[in-house]
Structure 1
Amino acid sequence: MELGISMFGDLRWDEANRNYQSSGKRMKELLEEIKLMDEVGVDVFGIGEHHRPDYVISVPEILLAAAASVTKQIKLTSAVSVLSSSDPVRIFQSFSSIGLLSEGRSEITVGRGSFIESFPLFGFSLEDYEELFTEKLELLLKLVNTKESFSWNGKHRASFVDQEVYPQPEMPLDVWIAAGGTPASVIRAATLGLPLIFAIIGGMPAQYKPYFDLYKEEYIKAGHDLSKMQIGTHSHGLLGVDGKVLSNDYFPLYKQQMDHIGASRGWQPYTHEQFEGGRGKEGALFIGDATEVVDKILYHQEMFGLTRWMMHMDLGAPSHSTIMKSIELFGDKVIPAVKKAMV
């Protein structure tokens, strides 16, 4: 099982000055964090796309290209690229270029995204939500799997005839599907034989088990090789030397961000009881010391049959030093213990 870290590039809110931290400073911090991930043996890093004032990353490819130049081993992926409001040709060219820079360490993770700001920004209608994703995924897969020239005719993107697209990757470019837990997304990924990653960020993770079973069933039904099946999860998490101290320090930041997002979605204010429940064995949060997190990863791996697990580490913008310590513990304590237990 691959063990990775994902981030959105959350910006810290300065209540005294009523503004967010410098975007440039956060960019530099992110590169230091990714470099450390590579040094301590993290398998994968993913960065998300957002178009909001509380996140610094709107173009994952830029950060990943920069990261390619300061890393040697870690895989670099989006988490996610909002394919519905993007141009599949540009997505392919960008990640192919990152692959060339990194000697084949780039991947693409596509999804609809958890926010909708990119749709009006790039001139797309939410009425075409499903149609956009379906058509653009078809074109992206054509680009990934076709080295010669080909023609394209679609509804939501300009057609082309006998067009070659460059640069071509030197290594295969994997495309993952990100899902929040809808049967249609699961069936689509399984039918196409694409790797699938679930965002499990709340509630009881065990409730997702039927989706994993459905994916495997549909994957086999579509005639794909079960030995090549890849399935993962991504959950909020943070590591500290003392899990209780960390949780006490981190809760205000976590609550602030959850309430900020929830205000536009009609959520009730986030409570400490929810937080502690999420940290428990049956909850979705991986916030604590290395032993707590290792035990929970192994529990999820046994329950779901995971080939990849990702800790989403910067929700609410914990300090750079806190994230660096968390990465260090992830590499030095969590990864070796999980991999030893799975031998």
Structure 2
Amino acid sequence: MHMELGVYTFGDVHPDPVTGEQTDPGQRIRDILERVELAEQVGLDYVGVGEHHRPDYAISSPSTVIAAALARTERIHVGSAVTVLSTEDPVRVYQQFATMDAFSGGRVELLAGRGSFIESYPLFGARLDDYDALYDEKIQLLLALDDAGARDGTVSWSGRFRPTLDDALVLPRPADLPGRGRRLNLAVATGGTPESSVRAGVLGLGVNYAIIGGRPAQFAPLAELYRSEFRPRGLGEGVDTGPSVAVSGMGFVADDPKAARDYFYPYWHASMDRIARERGFPLPNRITYDATTTPDGAYAVGSPEEVAEKIVRLAAVLGHDRQILQMDLSGVPQRESLRAIELLGTAVKPLVDAELPRATAEAE
């Protein structure tokens, strides 16, 4: 069993909860590009770039940042985390990602979701009353475009939320790769509803579970539901597809375990407090934080040995293929962010690679 490791970011530009300093959006994006380069250098597999339309995040156009990151790297995969497909035109999204796929040699990934915030809905003229219908229609159109790209690029389609396509030629087409053909690397993002797990499986797509609290092992039934419902898309001879489960969540790596937890806490608290007040959730505190950084908790915060142990433990339960960590909540300074990425690649990844086969065999 192989586990891919990586990081993801939303480009937080909140005031630093420790120093009060605030990084402007342009500098934050430059920071992210530096992090992607380091992630490749230390052997990580993936970096995800999120989308928000708020003043406390730097990235409203993830494809622009992803393209810059791909141009500065040679091996690592870079993708969206997530693309808010409900408020996008799937044709334009397909063209953007097919362009990046072509010039990067197949290293771009598209993670399609509905978004955890709703600012993009009024911004792009979408109605929240159509929340489910928008996503259902647009994911179907995206798949139709992907099917067309694998053939000759022409597609016919009609729906409620965009003009009809009548034998339209949609270009460019993705890179032509062994085992994948001219198809994008597509997956569905979910916070953990059974309906989303079934949808991803029935559509024959990968699934990414965002686990931001509680006990990650509780997602095991959802992962099994997804696998049981998985239906290969019939992508053609020589195209290899199968179920794929990724997990994204918060984490932070430092040389000393206590220092890691103490350092990350104010940054975690600032983000969680902001969201809790906006949504009327219970306010976060050190007790809830510490409870969720335990070996069975959702947060992978600690020394390289602790973080590796947590990932291996979870893999034995979920059987997931990829683990990505959000390690820059509330604008963790660049020096500490880079060190955490370095440790994830040079210390955590070797431990996971060594221990995962043994732990999986024992679980079986």
> Same fold, TM exceeding 0.5?
yes
Q: 1:178–1:197: 8 Å Cα contact kept in structure 2?
A: yes
Q: What pairs with 1:302-313 in structure 2 (closer than 5 Å)?
A: 302-313=316-327
Q: 2:75–2:107: 8 Å Cα contact kept in structure 1?
A: yes
Percent identity for Structure 1 against Structure 2: 38
CA distance in 2, matches of 1:121, 1:258: 25
Q: Post-superposition shift, 1:342?
A: 2.9
Partner secondary structure for residue 259 of structure 1:
helix
Q: Is residue 166 from structure 1 mapped to residue 180 from structure 2 by the alignment?
A: no
Provide Cα deviations, 1:102-138, integer angstroms capped at 9, x if missing partner: 1110110001111000000000000000000000000
Q: 2:250–2:298: 8 Å Cα contact kept in structure 1?
A: yes
Q: Post-superposition shift, 1:246?
A: 2.0
Q: Is residue 69 from structure 1 mapped to residue 80 from structure 2 by the alignment?
A: no
Q: 2:16–2:332: 8 Å Cα contact kept in structure 1?
A: no
Provide Cα deviations, 1:207-254, integer angstroms capped at 9, x if missing partner: 212111211221269999997221111110011111211211221121
With the length of structure 2 as denominator, give the TM-score of the two structures. 0.90
Q: 1:93–1:167: 8 Å Cα contact kept in structure 2?
A: yes
CA distance in 2, matches of 1:209, 1:18: 40
CA distance in 1, matches of 2:216, 2:297: 7
CA distance in 1, matches of 2:233, 2:54: 39
Q: What pairs with 1:161-200 in structure 2 (closer than 5 Å)?
A: 161-171=166-176, 172-200=183-211
Bigger mean CA offset, 308-317 vs 89-98: 308-317
Matched to 2:175, the amino acid is E
CA distance in 1, matches of 2:19, 2:315: 44
Partner secondary structure for residue 174 of structure 2:
coil
CA distance in 2, matches of 1:202, 1:274: 9
Q: What pairs with 1:84-233 in structure 2 (closer than 5 Å)?
A: 84-147=86-149, 148=152, 149-171=154-176, 172-219=183-230, 228-233=242-247
The counterpart of 1:53, out of the listed 37, 55, 80, is 55
Q: 1:219–1:226: 8 Å Cα contact kept in structure 2?
A: no
Flag structure 1 segments of 5+ consecutive residues without an equivalent.
Answer: none
CA distance in 2, matches of 1:41, 1:15: 31
Partner secondary structure for residue 6 of structure 1:
strand
Provide Cα deviations, 1:139-174, integer angstroms capped at 9, x if missing partner: 101111213312111101111211101111113311
Matched to 2:271, the amino acid is Q
Q: 1:20–1:54: 8 Å Cα contact kept in structure 2?
A: no
With the length of structure 1 as denominator, give the TM-score of the two structures. 0.95
Q: 2:17–2:267: 8 Å Cα contact kept in structure 1?
A: no
Partner secondary structure for residue 311 of structure 1:
strand
Flag structure 2 segments of 5+ consecutive residues without an equivalent.
Answer: 177-182, 358-364
CA distance in 1, matches of 2:19, 2:259: 27
Q: What pairs with 1:219-258 in structure 2 (closer than 5 Å)?
A: 219=230, 228-258=242-272
Provide the aligned length of Structure 1 versus Structure 2. Answer: 343
Matched to 1:123, the amino acid is G
Instruction: Provide runs of 4+ in structure 1 moved above 6 Å.
Output: 15-19, 220-227
